[in-house]
Amino acid sequence: MLRVKSFLIPLFFHVLLLGVIPWWITGGFYVRPGSLGLLMIPGSLLGLAGILLIVRTALLFADVGQGTPSPFHPPGKLVVKGPFRWMRHPLYAGVLLIAFGEALATVSSKLLIYAVSLTVAIQLLVVIIEEPVLRKRFGDVYDVYCAKVPRWIPKLRNEAPPEQDADTPR
C-alpha cells in the first residue's frame, strides 16, 4: 500500500507541474515543423530519464524510507541509497529533466522560461524549507550526508554516504 501511496500522493503535483501548466502555457502541446529530427529525440530522452528517476526515487521512499515523497506522509528513515548516493534531491532533478525535455522536444521558448522558473522555485523550496526540515528531523546524520553528497550536480565517484543507524527521526 505504501508503494501505491508513493505514486498516487505526489502524482497530482507532477501532472499539474509537468502536464497541465506546460499545456496551458503553450496552448496545447505541439511540435514545431522541422524539430522532429533535431530536438524531439534528445528532449524525449531527457523526459524519459526524468520519469525513471522519479519512479526510482518514489520506490526508495516507500521501500527504504518507509514513507512517500509527500509532506503528508514523509519518510521516517533517511534514504541514502540509489540515486541518493550521488545527489540529495533526485526527485526534483527528475522533475527538472522532464521540464527541460519538454522545452527541448517542443522547441518552446515559453517552456524553457517555465523550466528555468521551476528550477529557481525548486532551489528556493529546497534551501528555505526542505533541507531545514530534514536537518531538524534527522540531525547530525543529515549534516554528514550533506557534507558528502552534493545537492544537485551528481558526484558519481564520491565517498559513500553514511548509512543511517538511527532509523527514527528526532
Q: Is the dihedral of CA 128, 131, 136, 140 positive or negative?
A: negative
Gap between the Cα atoms of 95 and 166, Å rounded? 30
Residue 160 has pLDDT above 50, yes or no: yes
Question: For residue 128, how far is the Cα from the chain centroid?
Answer: 17
Q: Is the dihedral of CA 102, 53, 55, 36 positive or negative?
A: positive
Residue 166 has pLDDT above 70, yes or no: no
Q: Cell digits for 95?
A: 522533475
Q: Provide the whole-model pTM.
A: 0.82
Question: pLDDT higher for 160 or 100?
Answer: 100
For residues 79 and 61, is the Cβ–Cβ distance under 8 A?
yes
Beta strands in the chain (DSSP E): none
